[in-house]
Amino acid sequence: MQKKGNKYGTHRVIAPKGVLPQPADKLDNNMDEIYDNEILIDVQTLNIDSASFTQIEEQAGGDKAKIAEIMLGIVEKQGKHRNPVTGSGGMLLGTVEKIGEALIGKTDLKVGDKIATLVSLSLTPLRIDKIKEIRPDVDQVDIDGKAILFESGIYAKIPADLPEKLALSALDVAGAPAQTAKLVKPGDTVLIIGAGGKSGMLCCYEAKKRAGVTGKVIGLCHSQKSTERLQKLGFCDYVFSADATQPVPVMEKIAELTNGEMCDITINNVNITDTEMTSILCTKNTGLVYFFSMATSFTKAALGAEGVGSDVTMIVGNGYTKGHAEITLQELRESEALRKIFTELYA
């Protein structure tokens, strides 16, 4: 008989008692025995959250051995991979090794299925036995290790028609394009900040699809390289590069592009801090800002909007929305250009 577990995984919380696994300081990552409502995963790849990987890489001075040391230290201390600076995690790719007896017949998974977890590593019990390869350009780390998916945890089976690493890179940010699909209406003017990155490109595609011929999609990129890449993709009506931490010059550019009307919706996908005010100032008073970025400060956004007298509606990026995995993978099937660039960059 396996021990009975809690749906949300509180049985794995060591400290502090009474909290859920995500805010917990330490989880039990002993994988020798699983609880009756857990799924044991043999982990192949960790896809580290962009804000988290950027921070770790900077801390390590770009040294791969040091990156590995920092990651191993995080997991050793917490029993999970929650970045102590950014608070964010990522997700993983692996194979189902064992299914708890209480889940038999309740899940569509079977032993041997290849899955990507769609819950954060910041709440996932994880054990890393060995770090095999670090790919900084795509925020992915290949490991030997084990992880636990709780009963309430969501996942996606890796589809047969897409390469594993390609599916993983898209599923990591599935919440952003799926939320974009929900928010953008025909005729909207949409600004995407961090438009040349992984989630940014998916959001541009989805925004153009939803805004239609009467709408306008503007992409703000950081580097010349990502600007040219996005221009070639042709998802945006206008693409430019700028420093998103400088609100006034960006706001002036957007005013010029929209005849002073500003944007109905701004979607923030960057992995750096201090872009809250740029998002707010580029958006109409009656508009909406969607902060998908894990580097967003609630305090800066709330007090900043108040400080400039903006009545903008602000949404915190929830990495989950109904059907997000299906919507995102469908984008890669629909758009040959998107699939090609994702294959080149991430697969």
Residue 165 CB contacts under 8 Å (≥ 6 apart), including other chains: 45, 93, 138, 140, 346, 347
pLDDT at 285: 96
- List, for residues 311-341, the tens digit of each pLDDT value: 999 999 888 899 999 999 999 999 999 999 9
CA 163, CA 228: separation in Å to the nearest integer?
Answer: 26
pLDDT at 261: 98
SS3 261: coil
- For the cut 80, the answer to whether the pLDDT of residue 347 exceeds it is no
Percent of the chain with pLDDT over 90: 92
pLDDT band, very low/low/confident/very high, at 248 (cuts 50, 70, 90)? very high
- List, for residues 203-223, the tens digit of each pLDDT value: 999 999 999 999 999 999 999
pLDDT at 165: 85
Task: Read off the pTM.
Answer: 0.87
Span 51-77, average pLDDT: 97
> In this structure, what are the phi and psi dihedrals at residue 277, rounded to the nearest 5 degrees?
-70, -30
Question: Are 77 and 26 spatial neighbours (Cβ–Cβ below 8 Å)?
Answer: yes
CA 162, CA 247: separation in Å to the nearest integer?
Answer: 39
Residue 96 CB contacts under 8 Å (≥ 6 apart), including other chains: 39, 40, 41, 42, 109, 110, 111, 112, 113, 115
CA 280, CA 134: separation in Å to the nearest integer?
Answer: 36
pLDDT at 319: 85
Helical spans, DSSP H, in 28-152: 50-59, 64-78
Question: Are 278 and 242 spatial neighbours (Cβ–Cβ below 8 Å)?
Answer: no
Among 295, 317, 245, which Cα is nearest to 58's? 295
Residue 191 CB contacts under 8 Å (≥ 6 apart), including other chains: 218, 220, 254, 263, 265, 266, 267, 282, 283
- List, for residues 151-194, the tens digit of each pLDDT value: 999 999 999 999 998 898 899 889 999 999 999 999 999 999 99
CA distances from 61 to 58, 105, 136 (A): 5, 48, 12
Bridge partners of 290? 267, 315
The pair of structure tokens assigned to 3 is 């021990």
Q: At what angle do helices 164-171 and 324-334 cross, to 10 degrees?
A: 130
Residue 205 CB contacts under 8 Å (≥ 6 apart), including other chains: 177, 233, 235, 331, 335, 338
Among 142, 133, 138, which Cα is nearest to 44's? 142
The domains located in the chain, with CATH, are: 10-158 (no CATH), 175-346 (3.40.50.720)
